[in-house]
Each structure stands twice: as structure tokens, then as C-alpha cells.
Amino acid sequence: MSELVTLSKDGDIAVITINNPPVNALSPGVPEGIVASVQAAQKDGSVKGIVLVGGGRTFIAGADIKEFGKITSGQKDRNVGLHPVLQVMEDCPKPIVCAIHGTAFGGGLETAMACHYRVAVASAQVGQPECKLGIIPGAGGTQRLPRLAGVAVAAEMCAFGDPVPAPRALQAGIIDKIIDGDLVAGAVAYAREMAASGKPSRRARDLTGKISDPKVNEAALAAGRDAVKKRSRGLLAPRKAIDAVEAASRLPFDQGIAKEAELFKECLFSDQSKALIHVFFGERAVAKIPGISKDLPLIPIKRAAVVGGGTMGGGITMNYANAGIPVLFKEISQEALDKGLGIIKKNYAATVSKGRLTQEQMDQRMALIEPVLTYDKFEEADIIVEAVFEEMALKKRVFTELDKIARPDAILASNTSTLNIDEIASATSRPAQVIGHHFFSPANVMRVIEIVRGKQSSPRVIATSMALAKKLNKVGILVGNCRGFLGNRMFHHYQREAQFLLEEGATVEQVDAVLYDYGMAMGPLAVGDLAGLDVSWRIRKEFKHLDPPGIRVPLVSDQLCELGRYGQKTGAGWYRYEAGNRTPLPDPQVQKIIEQTAAKAGIKRRAISTEEILERTLYSLVNEGANILAEGIALRAVDIDMLYILGYGYPAYRGGPMWYADTVGLKKVYAKVCEFEKQHGSLWAPSPLLKELAESGKTFADFDKSKGE
């Protein structure tokens, strides 16, 4: 036995407790400790039954993710896994009852299913979320779960990885009883009852009742595969998870385990799994800010205020209400205020109609939002977020007003997506309290906030902003101050190349289809229509004086805006849209404008390949990302990856633009960038950092390691 696992007794029942905080992961020492404890209890003649429970706040929340990297790097033998541990448990002649609180996820649920019985508190959750790491359950999860819950439930759980609450798990047959009151006492009583029953302990591997009907199984598997096509576009692991569950319905247990192992290995060694594990750790890495102490006292955020009741202001307001923070919601007219409040109510009502929120919860959140037309009570706010039009003069005017009424220690945050935070801060007497909080649209849905520090933003304001992002259920990513910051500065280059490709011969539908097939949530032109082409048009006009003389710029998008084609909101942009329908439809008029514009500019149109579309758009992101890293606008390459995955619809299974470049090989990327510079000019000047890494045989991951990450 190890210190990570302890063995005690409650009369004739042995209690095995896992103590590996914070989540009792199956790190080295835990499986060995479980085996030693089970064997000791099995040898003890006074013990009639066994209870396995997690100490602290949860049962086993899963495997130690770092162990997967050891397998793929050859540091650890894949064949030395959980199976021997689970077999010892399953073959124990004394009944083993698993007592679940918190979560039993991944290897935790697999361990629980190797026990003979499972009990749980009502608030517990179980699940097989391995697909979110690009793998499938690898310790019998795809084989025992169908035997307990049936093929349909197992296929859904293994392919999508969503948590299942204890009441539903009871209904499905995954757990046997919900315990009211003390979990351990209830589990001990249940183990004693099972021991006294005289019945042989039930092994999940021996159950066949729920997988015995081939027609039911085939229908469930077909439905599962259809759902995977719709919900998991481009992903390998969900498809393989269905294949593994199918093996459980067709093969004897041991052969099913062998098939699961084969499929697990295929997934684990895939680029997708490596990318998704990178993303898993990336979400934790971005929270680490060099030079800011964890002990720094934060500004308590108990009340908030939002200036601007438009789409962004309303979404930001909802975030604060969702977090239980009272928030003032300001507009300049009653009409605008009523409209903004109406949109918030409509958004909440839609969530209620889908069953994701109760009417009572909606009413509670609406009660936290106080609509106002003046700055009265703003002095009570701990943070004030400006969410007005993307125009410097207007934002500076608002900050001048806020400076007069806000408390000296209040945070003044701007939701600007491109404008200079230092210039905005200059309109106040307290630049140390000013910071950018760039929410992504829709702000009440998107999980990321680009936190933009100005030259004088204080460490306390930065630390509070990062902590606040977490409280708002967002991932905060700290970036430096420049035009477009991290995300939009890179996105400008991506959009630029997409539009140049149109001028040179590609069609709108072709460019979008190539990027969509790559895995993007939407193609770049469809994204423009969704966001509103007028937004970028306004920004271009704001910064037009900064464009170098003679530099090539996209020629068509401004023409579309001049025609009133702003995208979905006007029923026409790069595509046309029918009333009440967001489905983009090809528009011959746009193609005609593109061709006429190219001819007028002397651009000879040609056939454009899929490969060129991918390289021009994706490598433009990478090259500018390298510049951003070199300038210190981004702390790490992983920060860029996470912002693009969470904020721009970049496919997580590609790992983000910088990780993807590493998988392609930076020498190849750099060579292409140099080639594009020769073909298309100075806009493609290679980043010195990209050149340095490529020529030294290093990666962006190596760059992060050199920074201590």
C-alpha cells in the first residue's frame, strides 16, 4: 500500500480511500495502492466486503494526462496500464462497492465499473470524456459500459464525452443506488447487504442482457454514427469510440478488450490526440502570468457596470449576471435601453426553452441587471466595462466621463477589439486602472476574453482581470497593446489573403469550403458576413492613414459595404440570405463585382488550388503570429493557439495555428513564406523569429519551453 491509498475497516467492511489531491488522478502509485489494498482485504478473514472511495472533493476524476505523453514518447509501455488492476478488483471473491461523489470520469469510471457495485450521491457525475483528448477509453470503458447501460448509452457517452448526472446513471444501470446522507456509511451498509445476500458478486464483463439484441444494437450504432457526423466533424476519436462499442456488442469480452486496445493506440498516436492534449494543458498554461505574484491581493468584484447596450454590451452584462454579480446596464436613450434589455430577455428565454435554464434562474439573473440612463450609482461599481461603438473619439469621451465618477480603485475596462488601450487610458487621470477586456461575439457564449494590458496597467488590475475571467466562466488570455492586439491583428492577415485569392481567381464558395473542410467553424468570408462587413470597414477607415503608400489592399469588401451589403444583418454580403434564414447562398452579383474589380486592377485571374488556399491563409496567421511572439504581444505560442481555438473557431484537433505549423514543420512553412514574398511582395516578409526557429530546427513549442513554460 502507498500513502496515496489507505486501508481501514468499518467492522467487517474494508474501506479503501484514494488520497491523491486535488482530483485523485490515477497517477503512478494510485493503481498499485488499490491492488495492494484489495489483496490485503481479500486475505483478511474478518472482512466480508470492500468499499472503494475517493478522499477529498471527488472520486477519481480521470487518468494523469501526462502519462499519455510518456507512452507516445516511448518512456512508458502502453501494455502496462490499468487492466491488471481492474482484473484484480473484478476477480475479488468479496463484493467491492464503489462509492462515488464529485466525478468518476475516464479511468475513474473504468475503475468504478470494475467494482461489483456502484453507489453515488445525487450530485455526482460519471462520464467517459476521453474523446475530448482525441482518444477513446482504454481500460475497458467501451466494453463494460455497454454491458451495464446498453449500446446506445455507451456509444453516446464514449463518442461525445458529456458528463452524466447520477440520477440518469442510475436509470441507465451504470450505478446501482443513490445514497442519501453520508456516502461512506451508505456504501458500507450496501456492501454489508451484498455480502450477506449470498449471491456471487456481479461482474460487468459477464453481463450480456443489454447487448443481446443485434437489431437494437445496430440501430443504436447507426444513430451514434449519424450523430458523430453532425456533431464531431473531422474528429477521429468519436468514430473509433463507436467502433469499440460495436466490438462489445459483437465479440467476447477479452476479444473486445483487444479491439479497444488497438483502436486506443491508433487514436493516442494520432496528430489529433497530440493536438488536443496540447489544448488541454494550454488552457491551464495561459493562466500563468510571469512577473505577477499569486499572492497579489485582488480587487474584489462585487458590483459591475456596463456602458453600451448593444449586442456586445448586452452579452457582457449577461456574463456578470450569470456569475451572480449585480450589474448596471447603461444606454443613452430609453428606446436603446429597452431594445438592449429586450435582447437580453430573449437570449435568456431561448436558453429556458432549451431546458438549460429554469424560469426561476432566468428571473434571478434578470433581477441582477439594473437598466439606467445616467451614471448614477456608477460610483458603487468595482469594475466598469465600456462597450460602445469602435471609434476612438467616442471611447475617449466615455472614459473621460468615467474618470470623473468612478471610485479611485475601480477597474475601467474597454471592450475594444482593435483600438489603442494607452490612448484610451490617456483620457483618464488613472491609466494604471485601465485595461482592455475584449469579449468575443456573442459575448454571453464565447469562452474567451482577450485581456489587453496597457503600458501602465497595474499588476493588481491584470491579476484581478485574469481571476475575473475565470469567475465569468471564461479563459482569460493576456496580450500586449498594438493595433488589433493578438487575435484581430492576425485575423487581418488571414482575411487579407482570403480576399486576395478571390481577386486572383478563387470563388467565395471555394475559399470558404476549403477552410471549412480543414476544420474551421466557418470560412473567412462567411465569418465576415456573420460579424458584419461594416465593422471591418469602419476599422479600416479609422486606420487608413497608417497604411504604407502603395501597399496592396483588398478591393472588393469596401465596394460591398458601399452597396449596403453588410452581411447577414442586411440580407447580403459576400453571400445573399433569405429573410429569417442564416444559410449563405452564392450570389452571382458578388462574383461579377470580383471579376470586374480584378480586371480594372490588372489582376490576371487563374485557377487556384486547395493547397494554395490553405497555405496562403494559414501561413499568414503563422507568420504574423511569430511577429507577435517576437514583439512580446503574446507571452507564448500556446496563448495564440488557445485564443484562436476559443475565439476564432480554429479546430481544436489541429492544436491552433502555431501548433499546426510545428506539425507541418517550420522549415517547410518558412520556405513557403519566402516563396510567397517573392510572388506577392513585402506583405509576406518572413518573421525573423520564424526564420530563426526554422533554420535552427526548432519549433514554437521549443520557444515556449525557452520562456519557462
Q: What would the pLDDT profile of 538-572 be if each residue is shown by its tens digit? A: 878 777 777 788 788 999 999 999 999 999 999 99
90 and 219 fall within a common domain = yes
The pLDDT confidence band at residue 467, using thresholds 50, 70 and 90, is very high
**Pairing state between β 103-105 and 117-120:** unpaired
Contact 329, 306 (CB under 8 A): yes
**Which one of 3, 67, 90, 130 is the catalytic residue?**
130
Q: What is the pLDDT of residue 78?
A: 58
Count how many domains the chain has: 4
597 and 619 fall within a common domain = no
Q: What is the pLDDT of residue 79?
A: 53
667 and 599 fall within a common domain = no
620 and 655 fall within a common domain = yes
Helix (H, G, I), strand (E, B) or coil at 530: helix
pLDDT value at 287 more than 60: yes
CA distance 163 to 126: 6
337: left (phi over 0), alpha (psi -120 to 50) or beta: alpha
pLDDT value at 75 more than 70: no
Residue 299 within any structural domain of the chain: no
96 and 236 fall within a common domain = yes
CA distance 233 to 483: 34
Burial of 70 (0-12, 13-18, 19+ CB in 10 A): middle
The domain spanning residue 99 has which CATH number? Answer: 3.90.226.10
Residue 241 within any structural domain of the chain: yes
Q: What is the pLDDT of residue 199?
A: 86
Residue 286 within any structural domain of the chain: no
218 and 87 fall within a common domain = yes
Q: What is the pLDDT of residue 510?
A: 98
359 and 471 fall within a common domain = yes
The β-bridge partners of 384 are: 305, 412
Domain limit, last residue, from 573, 608, 643: 608
The domain spanning residue 703 has which CATH number? Answer: 1.10.1040.50
pLDDT in tens, 590-610: 999 999 999 999 999 999 999
Q: What is the pLDDT of residue 74?
A: 66
pLDDT value at 1 more than 60: no
589 and 615 fall within a common domain = no
List, in order, residues 6 or more apart from 705 with CB less than 8 Å away.
none
Q: What is the DSSP string of 126-138?
A: EE-GGGGGT----
The pLDDT confidence band at residue 500, using thresholds 50, 70 and 90, is very high
pLDDT in tens, 567-589: 999 999 999 999 889 899 999 99
565: left (phi over 0), alpha (psi -120 to 50) or beta: beta
pLDDT in tens, 644-698: 999 999 999 999 999 999 999 999 999 999 999 999 999 999 999 999 999 999 9
**Which one of 90, 110, 612, 624 is the catalytic residue?**
110
Domain limit, last residue, from 419, 443, 475: 475
Residue 616 within any structural domain of the chain: yes
110 among known catalytic residues = yes
Helix (H, G, I), strand (E, B) or coil at 511: helix
Residue 278 within any structural domain of the chain: no
The domain spanning residue 314 has which CATH number? Answer: 3.40.50.720
CA distance 236 to 131: 9
The pLDDT mean for the chain works out to 95
218 and 237 fall within a common domain = yes
Residue 287 within any structural domain of the chain: no
Helix (H, G, I), strand (E, B) or coil at 563: coil
pLDDT value at 709 more than 70: no
148 and 258 fall within a common domain = yes
CA distance 161 to 487: 29
CA distance 170 to 205: 18
**Pairing state between β 383-386 and 448-452:** unpaired
615 and 604 fall within a common domain = no
252 and 366 fall within a common domain = no
Quick count: other Cβ atoms within 10 Å of Cβ 551?
9
Residue 222 within any structural domain of the chain: yes
Q: What is the DSSP string of 368-401?
A: TEEEESS-TTGGG-SEEEE---S-HHHHHHHHHH
Residue 54 within any structural domain of the chain: yes
Domain span at residue 414?
Answer: 304-475
611 among known catalytic residues = no
The pLDDT confidence band at residue 434, using thresholds 50, 70 and 90, is very high
